[in-house]
C-alpha cells in the first residue's frame, strides 16, 4: 500500500516476540559519497548495490543536472563523469545534497541554483558556503536558496571552519578537495565535532579512490591530485537496520540482519554495543548479525554520549521509553539542526503519548512509564517516523503521521515492517 504525507499510519502492535531475517538496501551515506567521487573522477565508476531512495535519487539528479551521466543496470549504476555545467538543483531535505554538491558546482562552467523543501531552507548552510568563498568560489546567499557561479576551477588553499553543527561541512569539502588548484587544508575550530564516523567514512572512501589524505587532530589536508574511477561495493545501511533490531529488543524476539559487514566506518554499527548494554544478546557470525531481546520488561536504560552516533538517537530514545530504568542521551545538541529539531520533536512526541522525556542542553533524559495511543508526528523526518513505529509495537493505538517520509532513506518501510512482524498484529 502506498502512503502519502497526509496519511496517519496505524503502527502495528504485536503480542508475540518478533522473529525475522532481513536483508537491507545499501547505505545512503556510502552511496551519496560514491556518487560525488564518481562525478569528480578522471574515469568511469560503477556502484554495485547502491541505495535507491529519495535522498540518493536527489543526489543523482543533482549531479546529472551538472552533466554527469548515469546508467542503471539492475542493482548496478554506471557513472560517466563529463565536463560540468550549471543547472538547477533540488536538494529536497537531503543534507548530503545541499552540503556535498556546492563544491562540485563550483567547478562547473555556469551558474547553479540550489533550493529544497521548506524546512531545508532553515538548515545551517553558511559554514560551507563561507568556506567555499574563502577558497575562491563565487556564491550568492547564506542558506537555501543560494546560487553558485562556477568558472571551471577554484583556487583552494587553507580554510578554518566551525563544523560543530554538522560533520557534513568537513565531508563536503574533503570529497572535492583534490580538484581544487591548490588542494585544501581544513581546520576545525569548534569545541566539538559530531558524527566523526561519517568523516572517517569520507576519508576511507577518498583513499579507496586513490586520494592521499592527511589527518591530524582537527586538520585535514588533501593536495591536488587525481580522483580515480573505480568499482564501489555499497554496504547495507546499518542505521536503517536499527528499528528492526529494536523490535527484537523490546519484544524479547530475535532478528537477524544479513550481510552485516565485519569491518565498517558506518555509525550504525555501534547499535551492537548499545543493545548489548541494554541487555540484549548480540552475535555477529560470518556476515549475519543476530539480536535476541531480553524477557519483555527487562530491557535496561542506558547513559550514553551519542555525539558520534547522533543519527541513532530516535531509535535509542524509542528503546529508552520501553526500558525498566531511566536513560540519559547526551552529546547531541547538534541534532537541533537535523531534518527537524530532533531533541524537541522526540520530547514532544514521547510526552504526548504519556511518556516522561526531558530535553537537556545537549540531549535527553527519559524515564520509562506506561504509554498510551495517539498521533505520533514525524516532522517530515524519516527517523522520527521509524521511532513511532518502534513505540507502536507495544503501545496499541499509535498512529504515525507521514510514514511516507521514510522513503528518504528506506523505500517501502511500511511493507518491510509488516513483513518483519509477520502480520501478527494484536
123 annotated as ligand-binding: yes
Q: Which residues pair with 288 in a beta bridge?
A: 258, 285
- Report how far apart, in Å, the C-alpha atoms of 20 and of each of 17, 64, 125, 281, 328 are: 10, 38, 41, 15, 29
Which of these, 74, 17, 84, lies nearest to 50 by C-alpha position?
A: 74
| Closest to 112 in 3D by CA, of 65, 59, 175, 172 | 65
- 133 labeled binding residue: no
Cis amide linkage into residue 145, ω under 30° from 0: yes
408 is in an annotated binding site: yes
What DSSP state is assigned to residue 120? Answer: G
Residue pointed to by grid coordinates 591530524? 216
Q: Would you say 171 is a known binding-site residue? A: no
- The response to whether 160 counts as a known ligand-binding position is no
Does the annotation flag 208 for ligand binding?
A: no
Active site residue: 181, 258, 283, 311, which one? 311
The CA distance from 265 to 142, in Å, is 31
Residue written as cell 543496470? 73
- Judge whether 29 is annotated as a binding position: yes
Residue 195 annotated as lining a ligand binding site: yes
Say whether 311 is catalytic: yes
* Three-state secondary structure call for residue 70: strand
Give SS3 for 142: coil
The cell numbers describing 419, all together, are 513483513
- Give the number of other CB atoms < 10 A from CB of residue 181: 12
Q: Report the 10 Å Cβ neighbour count for 46.
A: 18
Q: Are 109 and 150 in contact (CB under 8 A)?
A: yes
- The verdict on whether residue 311 carries a ligand-binding annotation is yes
Running DSSP on this structure, what letter comes out for residue 181? Answer: T
Distance of CA 371 to the CA centre of its chain: 28
For residue 53, say whether it is annotated as part of any ligand binding site. no
The verdict on whether residue 28 carries a ligand-binding annotation is yes
Grid cell, residue 193, equals 565535532
Q: Would you give the DSSP letter of residue 312?
A: G
Sorted by sequence, the CB contacts under 8 Å of residue 2 that are 6+ apart come out as 404
| β partners of residue 214 | 221
Question: Which residues line the annotated binding site for phosphoenolpyruvate?
Answer: 28, 95, 123, 168, 342, 383, 408
Catalytic residues: 311
Question: Which residues line the annotated binding site?
Answer: 28-29, 33, 95, 123, 166-168, 195, 311, 338, 342, 383, 408
Amino acid at each position: 500500500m502506498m502512503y502519502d504525507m497526509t496519511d496517519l499510519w496505524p503502527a502495528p502492535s504485536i503480542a508475540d516476540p518478533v522473529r525475522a531475517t532481513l536483508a537491507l538496501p545499501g547505505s545512503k551515506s556510502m552511496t551519496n559519497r560514491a556518487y560525488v567521487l564518481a562525478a569528480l573522477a578522471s574515469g568511469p565508476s560503477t556502484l554495485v548495490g547502491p541505495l535507491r531512495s529519495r535522498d540518493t535519487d536527489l543526489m543523482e539528479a543533482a549531479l546529472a543536472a551538472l552533466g554527469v551521466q548515469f546508467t542503471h543496470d539492475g542493482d548496478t549504476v554506471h557513472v560517466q563523469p563529463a565536463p560540468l555545467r550549471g543547472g538547477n538543483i533540488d536538494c529536497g531535505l537531503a543534507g548530503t545534497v545541499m552540503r556535498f554538491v556546492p563544491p562540485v558546482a563550483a567547478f562547473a562552467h555556469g551558474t547553479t541554483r540550489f533550493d529544497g523543501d521548506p524546512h531545508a531552507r532553515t538548515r545551517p548552510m553558511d559554514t560551507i558556503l563561507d568556506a567555499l568563498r574563502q577558497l575562491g568560489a563565487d556564491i550568492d546567499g547564506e542558506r537555501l536558496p543560494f546560487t553558485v557561479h562556477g568558472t571551471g576551477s577554484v583556487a583552494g588553499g587553507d580554510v578554518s571552519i566551525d563544523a560543530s553543527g554538522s560533520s557534513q561541512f568537513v565531508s563536503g569539502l574533503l570529497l572535492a578537495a583534490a580538484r581544487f588548484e591548490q588542494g585544501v587544508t581544513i581546520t576545525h575550530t569548534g569545541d566539538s565535532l559530531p558524527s566523526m564516523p561519517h568523516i572517517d567514512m569520507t576519508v576511507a572512501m577518498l583513499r579507496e579512490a586513490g586520494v592521499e589524505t592527511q589527518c591530524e587532530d582537527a586538520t585535514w589536508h588533501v593536495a591536488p591530485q587525481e580522483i580515480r574511477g573505480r568499482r564501489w561495493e555499497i554496504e547495507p545501511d546499518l542505521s536503517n537496520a536499527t528499528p528492526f533490531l529494536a523490535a527484537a529488543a523490546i519484544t524479547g524476539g530475535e532478528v537477524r540482519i544479513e550481510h552485516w559487514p565485519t569491518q565498517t566506518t558506518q555509525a550504525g554499527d555501534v547499535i551492537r554495543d548499545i543493545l548489548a548494554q541494554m541487555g540484549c544478546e548480540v552475535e555477529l557470525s560470518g556476515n549475519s548479525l543476530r539480536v535476541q531481546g531480553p524477557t519483555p520488561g527487562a530491557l535496561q536504560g542506558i547513559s550514553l554520549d551519542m555525539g558520534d552516533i547522533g543519527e541513532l538517537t530516535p531509535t535509542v530514545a524509542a528503546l529508552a521509553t520501553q526500558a525498566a530504568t531511566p536513560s540519559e542521551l547526551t552529546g547531541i545538541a547538534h541534532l537541533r539542526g537535523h531534518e527537524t529539531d530532533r531533541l524537541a520533536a522526540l520530547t514532544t512526541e514521547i510526552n504526548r503519548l504519556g511518556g516522561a522525556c526531558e530535553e537537556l542542553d545537549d540531549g535527553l533524559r527519559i524515564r520509562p512509564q506506561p504509554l498510551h495511543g495517539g498521533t505520533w508526528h514525524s516532522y517530515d523526518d524519516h527517523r522520527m517516523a521509524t521511532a513511532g513505529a518502534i513505540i507502536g509495537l507495544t503501545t496499541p493505538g499509535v498512529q504515525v503521521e507521514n510514514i511516507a517520509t521514510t522513503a528518504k532513506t528506506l523505500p517501502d518501510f511500511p511493507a518491510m515492517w509488516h513483513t518483519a512482524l509477520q502480520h501478527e498484529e494484536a
